[in-house]
Amino acid sequence: MPTTTKLTEKYLSEHPSIKDCLKHGIINYSKLSRKIAKELDIAKKTSFEAILIACRRFEVKLEEEKILENKIRDILKKSELEIKNKIVVTIIDKKTYIGNLIEIEKKIRKTTDVFYAIEGTKAFTIIISEKYLEDLQTIFDKNIIKISKNLAMITIKSPKDLEKTPGVNAYIFSTFSEHGINIIEQMSCWTDTIIVISENDIGTVMNFLKF
C-alpha cells in the first residue's frame, strides 16, 4: 500500500488549483489535510499530522517549480506578439494529390502571406489567409474534410533562452486553458510559438498575455 506521503503528493499533483495555492503560500494546511483525509478515506489508516507534514514537504518541492516559473515569465516578458486575423484552417484528406498542395503554396508564398501545412497520419491541416480560401476550395474540391473560419493567428516570438528552458509552451497553453480559450491549432518553429484561436477571443488573449 502507498505511504501517506505518496498518497498526499499524488492528490496534490492531481489538483492544480490546490498546488498553485501551495506554491504561493496561501493555503490553510489544517483544512487541506482534513480535506485530503476525507476524500481519500484514509483518516483511519494514518494520522492527521502525517498528512500535514506531507503537504508541507510538498510545498518545499514546489519551490523549484516557482523558480522555473519566474524564469518562464521573464522569457515571455521579452517576447513579442504578432496577431493576424481572417485566418482559415482547412483539413484536407491525405489522399489528395500532393502536387496540388505545392501549387497553392507557391502562389501564396509569392505574396509572403500566411501558409502553414501540417502533415498528419490521415490528413493535412492547412492554415492560410481567408482571401485564399476560394483558391483552396477550387483546387481540392471534394478532398476537403473541414473548414474553420473567423480565426486569428498569434505568434509569440521569444528570445533564444526558450530553447534551454523547459515548460514554456506548457505554461502558455495552461494560461489559455485557465482563461477558457480554446486553441484550435498550435505549432512551433525554433523560438516562435504559433497559436490559432477564434477571432472573438483576441481581446481576452491580449489582456492575459501582458507579462
Query: pLDDT digit string (tens) for 45-100?
Result: 888 899 999 999 999 888 888 889 999 999 999 999 999 999 999 999 998 888 88
> Domain residue spans in the chain?
4-77, 80-208
Whether the CB-CB separation of 211 and 69 falls below 8 Å is answered with: no
Mean pLDDT across the chain: 93
**Distance between CA atoms of 36 and 39, rounded to whole angstroms?**
5
Q: What is the CATH number that goes with domain 80-208?
A: 3.30.2130.10
What pLDDT, in 10s, does the model give residues 138-183? 999 889 999 999 999 999 999 999 999 999 999 999 999 989 999 9
**Given the C-alpha cell 481540392, which residue does it identify?**
140
104 pLDDT above the threshold of 80: yes
Residue 143: is it exposed, middle or buried by C-beta count within 10 angstroms (0-12/13-18/19+)?
middle
Question: b/e for 58-68, b at 16 or more Cβ within 10 A?
Answer: bbeebeeeeee
Dihedral angle over CA of 95, 98, 104, 107, nearest 10: 180
Look up the pTM and report it.
0.80
Q: Can you read off the three cell numbers belonging to residue 40? A: 481519500
